Amino acid sequence: MLKPQTLRLGAATLVALAAGAAHAHPGHGASGFADALAHPFLGLDHLLAMVAVGAWSVAALPSGRRLAGPAAFLLMLLVGMAWAWAGFVLPGVEAGVALSVVLFGAMLLAGRRLAAAPGLLFIAVAALLHGSAHGNELIPGPVMLVTATGVLLGSSVLHLLGLMIGARLQTLPAWTSKLAALALGSSGLVMLAARL
């Protein structure tokens, strides 16, 4: 008989895969702090990616440097948003965002076998795409700083959740991390297929 923990993980995987086919960015044209704060939670691709960054940081980085992954993501997220608001649109953003979820699944699967420098570089590039997507979807409003602060705060909460999940995964059998990584990557593949 399967353990309850295994059943919960399997159910979460199925939900993630099923939801992945849906369009991940509701709220186009939203503006203001509340909309910006909620925005990272509304797209499954953004939510999974930001949680994955925290989980990978725990799995791959030394304990004193675990905030480097989220920090790199937040910095480049802001750059991507600023570029979008300035009218510089990156090509293939939606497909790139879905692909980043696949990449984060592979990174989580690799864990410490992936060196910190390339891992942080992948995070930075992915964050640029995510920032561009947010910038394209959110109206900056009269005060761009308010919108940017909302997105950064919402993203930070998801990174913190990822750090907590990553820490929990470290206490569980190794197969649970592998299963989570495979579920993450599979969700990204489903989203990518829906956008091509």
Distance, CA of 137 to CA of 134 (rounded, Å) = 5
Q: Where are the alpha helices (DSSP H) in the chain?
A: 4-20, 33-42, 44-60, 68-85, 93-110, 116-137, 144-170, 174-195
Cα distance from N-terminal residue to C-terminal residue, the chain? 40
**pLDDT tens sequence for the chain (196 residues):** 445 554 454 444 433 433 433 334 444 445 578 888 888 898 899 999 999 999 999 999 998 999 999 999 999 999 999 999 888 888 889 999 999 999 999 999 998 899 999 999 999 999 999 999 888 887 766 667 888 888 999 999 999 999 999 999 999 999 999 999 999 999 999 999 998 8
- pTM (global) more than 0.85: no
Q: What is the DSSP letter of 67?
A: T
**Which structure tokens are listed for 158?**
């998801």
Query: Do residues 125 and 79 lie in contact, with contact meaning Cβ atoms separated by under 8 Å?
Result: no
